[in-house]
Structure 1
Amino acid sequence: MRRPLVIGHRGAPGYRPEHSRSSYDLALEMGVDAVEPDVVLSKDGVLVVRHENEISGTTDVAARPEFADRRTTNEVDGVALTGWFTEDFTWDELATLRCRERLAEVRPTSATFDDRQPVLRLRDVLDLVRDASLAQGREIGVVLEIKHATFMASLGFDLAAIVHDELRAAGWAAGEWPLIVESFESGILFALQDRGLPARYVYLLEAAGKPFDLVAARGDDAPTYASIAAPSGLDALVGRVDGISVDKRMLLTPDRLGRATDRSHIIADAHARDLEVFTWTCRPENPFLLKEFRRPGGKAAFGDYEAEWALLRDGANGEGGVDGVFVDHADLGVDFFRDGLTSSDRGPSS
């Protein structure tokens, strides 16, 4: 495995609407080590590639009069959301929708590709990655993020069975192709392990809050994400998962002025237990950087992202950096994290 593994986060959404065909094609052409599809479910149990099951911000569904009556309010992971949800549509209906840029104010160029490309299934992405691997003569992996497993179970879906069956049908369940499975809920990871799915398993951790599957099972006694990232929490993960994937703010630990500090020991603590550490999401635009790395030019302008990324690559405490990074701009991620290139190396035309 390359270190750090450079993962195209939903493809290359810095340039194309996330989870669209062109977003994945571009990431693969730019040389990422893996791509990351998020999956939710349709009404008829098809694994659909969307960041969330509420899709008004990433598709044209709100502009489709034939689906106006599908707008509803659902409680997802304990939060009431109003919009259009994948589980209220069959796959044939979802296939008529078109992708839209979720962050149009920050990425107006990507928004010019709105309404051109259909929503994808997991199977479509798996086939794209396999074809690119063969065409380029290199192994390219899939980092599969499973969304809202407990919520989907409440609707009667056996998500572990659906995911395993789909991977097997697509030829990704025999260990032949690089596969990482990740989720903010450990229960779905353990369920897939019990089914014998050969993969590396990564537990996603937010900077705040608690895993919803554990909240559903334990109520107020559920551990926080922060406690899971602490040494005693990591002890409990040894032998259960291969690594953790954390919000980059948990590693940069900004102070009240938005400056990175060296207070985090997550990387060293995890590595001491032979657990990998991934982080998300590396984006160059000002709104996504710590305050000290932002520069003039507004929301769409790039800040001093290389200075922030260097802290993740090298580690703030001399303990070494992360094992994997999720990037929105695939070319910048490959250049910086894998090839060691900076903007000065690429020149003014980059």
Structure 2
Amino acid sequence: MASFWHISIAVLILLFGGSKANTIAGPRSQLDVNHKKQLQTFRPYNIAHRGSNGELPEETSAAYLRAIDEGADFIETDILASKDGNLICFHDVTLDATTDVANHTEFANRKRTYEVQGENVTGWFVVDFTLKELKSLRVKQRYTFRDQRYNGKYQIITFEEYILIALYADRVVGIYPEIKNPVFINQHVKWSNGKKFEDMFVETLLKYGYKGQYMSEDWLKQPVFIQSFAPTPLIYISNMTNSPKVFLIDDTTIPTQDTNQSYYEITSDAYLAFIRNYVIGIGPWKDTIVPPKDNFLGQPTDLVARAHALNLQVHPYTFRNENAYLHFNFHQDPYLEYEYWLNEIGVDGLFTDFTGSLHKYQEWTTPYPKKGKKAEAILHEIANMLKDDGY
């Protein structure tokens, strides 16, 4: 846990040290990056879904710090916007499920009903609160069967605070932000000069030095995947950034929120051939790749094979350790599930709520390569030479 607390102290200074913290983020990250342990690229990516949210409330500084400590390659987040145009890390457009907003009597009159992706939704909406008001709330665990001890201890964080957590880690950690509900956000939040949600999103990434094509020198220094369930924003921002993008794919019953295309259309060979001009991969819900029946795995589809044939990566979601989410084939063993998806299905990364368990599995099965005998012999020879010279 030493590294966790080392990062925690740095991030506490950043998150609570005021605006001066932001001014040093860029220079320091550039100075330190060459001395950090680099991102591993020899095995599928361990993507911390909303941080290590199986243990701590999702999308909080603590969840991201824990995920980094547990070995995540990327920390994943959802980006929304406040009433006053600040970008925040939060999954739902409503605050009801994962904050204590219902306990704040001063916000009792903020409950609204809006149309979200074709359905009427009632609740306290992120877009009706300023950043200061959102910061007054406290986050809680989404699922009642998970650890409730950390409820009320953490705030909502901003996109910039999330970025700083990654930049100030003691090794290179990638970020994996999602342009969340762009249609809804652009309807309810307005920025000056006609800018859109997508513009603000990319401007923030560029401000902190995130740029470069996949596996380029710039990308390896500050790795990022940009994701969205909506194809239009991914196409739109392609003129603004060459950072790699991933097209997320929902359940078979849910059409795309911006183009109203069906699952079967967006996973067709023709559409994958089209979208590959803008994205480096797809992120499907795992049950659409291997459809289950009666909680047993069914026959895998050919989606992964067809994506790989077009040089598209596949990063399925979401892997969870709890028995309620494990198909009977895995006998309540999440490591068997990792083995199946990594070895038999052959995916390129996994979104997991339990970063530590995936990291342990990969360290057991595909550990970091050790120095070869030749390299060790050279180091030994140099040491002997220095010893002979009196050092």
TM-score (norm 1): 0.85
2:110 counterpart (61, 67, 70): 70
Gaps of 5+ in 2: 1-40, 191-195, 213-217, 367-391
**CA contact 2:84–2:189 (8 Å) conserved in 1:** no
**2:365, 2:123 → 1: CA distance?**
43
Q: Root-mean-square deviation (CA), in Å? A: 1.7
Aligned to 1:263: 300
Q: Deviations over 1:46-93 (max 9, x none)?
A: 111111121111111111111111111111111211111110000011
Aligned with residue 324 of structure 1, among 349, 361, 372 = 349
**2:235 match:** 190
Separation in 1, partners of 2:65, 2:138: 17
Secondary structure in 1 matching 2:233:
helix
**Gap runs ≥5 in structure 1:** 216-222, 295-302, 342-350
Name the residue aligned to 1:103: 143
Higher helix share: 2
> Which secondary structure does the structure 2 equivalent of 1:334 belong to?
helix
Aligned to 2:132: 92
Contact 2:83 2:189 in 1 (8 A): no
One of 265, 270, 291 as aligned partner of 1:227 = 265
Correspondence for 2:181 among 145, 148, 169: 148
Q: Distance in 2 between matches of 1:339 and 1:239?
A: 36
Identity percentage of aligned residues = 29
Matched residues in 2 for 1:281 and 1:337: separation?
Answer: 17
Q: CA deviation at 1:339?
A: 4.1
- Rounded to whole Å, the distance in 1 between the matches of 2:364 and 2:116 is 40
How far did residue 226 of structure 1 move?
A: 3.0
Alignment partners' CA distance in 1, 2:328 and 2:364: 27
What TM-score comes out, normalization by structure 2 length? 0.77
CA deviations on 1:307-335 (whole Å, 9 max, x unpaired) are 2222211134xxxx110101111110111
Bigger Rg, structure 1 or 2 = 2
Q: Distance in 1 between the 2:276 and 2:209 partners?
A: 29
Q: Amino acid of the residue matched to residue 159 of structure 1?
A: F
Query: Residue 98 of structure 1 contacts residue 117 of structure 1 at CA under 8 Å; is this kept in 2?
Result: yes
For residue 197 of structure 2, what is the aligned residue in structure 1?
159
8 Å CA contact 1:54, 1:86 repeated in 2 = yes
Q: Which amino acid aligns with 1:166?
A: T
Deviation at 1:156, TM superposition (A): 5.0
Q: Aligned partners of 1:337, 1:205: CA distance in 2, in Å?
A: 26
Give the SS at the match of 1:232: helix
- 2:361 paired residue among 327, 331, 336: 336
Give 3-state SS (helix, strand or coil) of 1:116's partner.
coil
Alignment of 1:231-246 (within 5 A): 231-246=269-284
2:249 counterpart of 1:205: yes
